Amino acid sequence: MSKEIFQGPLERVSDCCWRIPKTYKQGMRVDGLIYADEVLIEAIKRDQAPEQVANVAFLPGIQYASLAMPDIHWGYGFCIGGVCATDPDEGGVISPGGVGYDINCGVRLVRSNLFYRDVQPRLRQLVEELFRHIPTGVGKSGRYHFDKKELDRLMAEGPRALLDRDLATPRDLEYTEANGKLEGADPDAVSDQAKLRGESQCGTLGSGNHFLEVQVVDHIFDEQAARVMGLEKDMVCVMIHSGSRGLGYQVCDDALAMLRKAPEKYGISLPDRQLACAPVNSPEGQKYIAAMRAAANFAWCNRQLLMQQTREVFENVFGRPWQQLQMNLVYDVCHNIAKFEEHTFNGKTRKVWVHRKGATRAFPPNHPEIPQMYRQIGQPVLIPGDMGRASWVLVGQEGSMKQTFGTTCHGAGRAMSRTAAVKDVGKRRIDKELEARGVIARAQSRRGLAEEQPDAYKNVDEVVEVVHKANLSRKVARMRPIGVIKG
């Protein structure tokens, strides 16, 4: 994370929003808008992420504003928490930096009919079994192996390709964003190197901020929405956070190499070469989109297999089939993606490419892309926090469509770099500190826990409060962690 203090203008628009006017830099096509309250904006100023918000405003075809959510922090090209929409009919571009290296990194929530009183006596056993059976860590291979033809099918079809192996159900697909499949994915646009990196990683957790967490619903804020989702106070759920692993990383790397000279070729002037991009309708733009969609479908397969392995562990520990434990998918959302969506702004309805980089789709009630069961309440939004505090379930609100192209935050947002977090920990034992809070944590290394210690993150409650007040998404339930496995 950058240590420089942002020196540019930040004008207050409302209690929850701040503007970087497009007059700040010659070449900005739109204003920058950052969603934050007075406390969070002071922390945000201590990082150069607002500068990245201003830089994104240079992109050709950008509409309305360059946006950032309250979990904003420094990223590659775009800040984490960055959102922008580009119109291909106005020369709009696609930028890999607006999606990120971990394409379709996302979160899914699985409910159960178990309550804390049922799980607490077996919690340590449960966490140990999850850690033993679910591959975690950098470059880790999993139990599922797919040959080239099968891997291409995963990238083309998403979890639908797992139905005939009994590793997914039709209901799982229904409650996955986009039904777990982006049309137009082309496995042939994905390099052999990317496929090699992904062939044995589907169904693995990875490292960094990825996790699998056993949680308890500790507070219900919206009884109706919680009831529709099947959530009750003290119920045990599982939250899974992972993405497209080495395959997606390589797709991004390949795209950045391909696009290195594209801005010059198409006469695009950029303030940061990390914003490398190409017109959506160019050959380079179309190739990246096809590969990005394939990586996104692979990521949904990854989370599906992680969920299936989790179900199997619960079966073994609690002695009942997962169907009897009612371990149903509540929802799966992605937060590193670019999607072609219809939005209305400035009095016009048009289709635009919405880049969400560390940001979550938050469609309101009655939107046609929401599963029928959730139409009355809005799309479920899953916001992971940190290992020591809480995560949240929200629902999308109408304000998101009017203000942020149907988008809200994606997590707590880092407050320290990984290096700083490790230095801050020193010789402390984060696993022991978490256990004192009632959380059993397992990781491949002590450093992994140090990098992800609770103090490395903003307070997720404060972040959620901003998007709730701004009417981007509404609070439904707060979840506290009781067990976590990490890479």
Q: Which residues are catalytic?
A: 410
| Spatial CB neighbours of 428, under 8 Å, sequence gap ≥ 6 | none
Strand partners, 239: 109, 213
Q: Are 429 and 453 in contact (CB under 8 A)?
A: no
* Side chain identity at residue 135, one-letter code: P
Burial of residue 120 (number of CB atoms within 10 Å: 0-12, 13-18, 19+): middle
| CA distance linking residue 8 with residue 251, whole number of Å | 34
Distances (CA, A) of 329 to 107, 171, 177, 280, 323: 11, 8, 12, 34, 11
CA-CA-CA-CA dihedral for 332, 335, 341, 342, to nearest 10: 90
* DSSP H/E element including 286: helix 283-318
Burial of residue 347 (number of CB atoms within 10 Å: 0-12, 13-18, 19+): exposed
CA-CA-CA-CA dihedral for 187, 189, 193, 199, to nearest 10: -10
Tell me which residue of 463, 482, 450, 479 sits closest to 411, measured CA to CA.
463
* Side chain identity at residue 39, one-letter code: V
Strand partners, 331: 109
| CA distance linking residue 346 with residue 344, whole number of Å | 7
